[in-house]
Amino acid sequence: MSFKSTRRISGRALVYVCILTLGAGTGVAVASLSGAAGPRNAVSAVTFPTNQNGQTYGSASKVGLQNEPDLIYAVATNGKKGYIYRSQLWAADGTNVNSPSAAQQYMQQETSTTIPVYDENGTTVIGEFVIPAPSSPEVHTNPSQNS
């Protein structure tokens, strides 16, 4: 095999590598833009660790509403990461609404609610977490006005 043909084969090999790499990169991009982290209901059997007070704690992102841990992993307004009580979140965010008339009344609420962010034991406060009022500027209902 001559040096020239070796170079030609090497060049072709490099082109193939580039094509494969580009293909893989595209695949990653597609996965990034359309992929899901998995059906949340399908992984609702996640078991959470328990703190010294017998409360479960962890991320609520992989579970259904009814399977959320007692203490939900969250970011405080000061940037610290800790846990908010599920019960306090639900009491403030409208989860307990059970009829259209109650929903309409809840939607009139004009003040945001601030709840504490704790360490994993649920006792030491390390920050705050805000549940916005339905009319807060952080809440959007018209995608065409925000993108």
Partner 1 sequence: MKFMSLGASFLGAMVLSGATYAFAATAYSTTKDIGPSDGINYENYAYIDNTSEIAWSVENTASGGNVPVSYMGSAAHLYEAGGALCAVSGWIYQDFVTNTWPVGVSAACGAGNYYSSGFTRAYNGNGYDTYSTDASGQLYFS
Contact set with partner 1 (CB under 8 A)? 11, 14, 17-18, 21-22, 24-25, 28-29, 31-41, 58-66, 72-75, 79, 81, 84, 89, 92-95, 97-101, 103-104, 106-107, 129, 131-134, 138-143, 146-147
- Determine the Cα angle at 136 with ends 85 and 75, to 5°: 35
CB atoms within 10 A of CB 24: 10
CA proximity to 113, closest of 96, 135, 129: 129
Closer residue to partner 1 in complex, CB, 50/97: 97
How far is 43 from 38, CA to CA, in rounded Å? 8
Closer residue to partner 1 in complex, CB, 2/138: 138
Closer residue to partner 1 in complex, CB, 22/125: 22
How far is 116 from 42, CA to CA, in rounded Å? 30
Rounded to a whole number of angstroms, the minimum distance from the CB of residue 111 to partner 1 is 12
Closer residue to partner 1 in complex, CB, 25/49: 25
Rounded to a whole number of angstroms, the minimum distance from the CB of residue 87 to partner 1 is 15
49: alpha, beta or left? (left if phi > 0; alpha if psi -120 to 50) = beta
Rounded to a whole number of angstroms, the minimum distance from the CB of residue 22 to partner 1 is 6
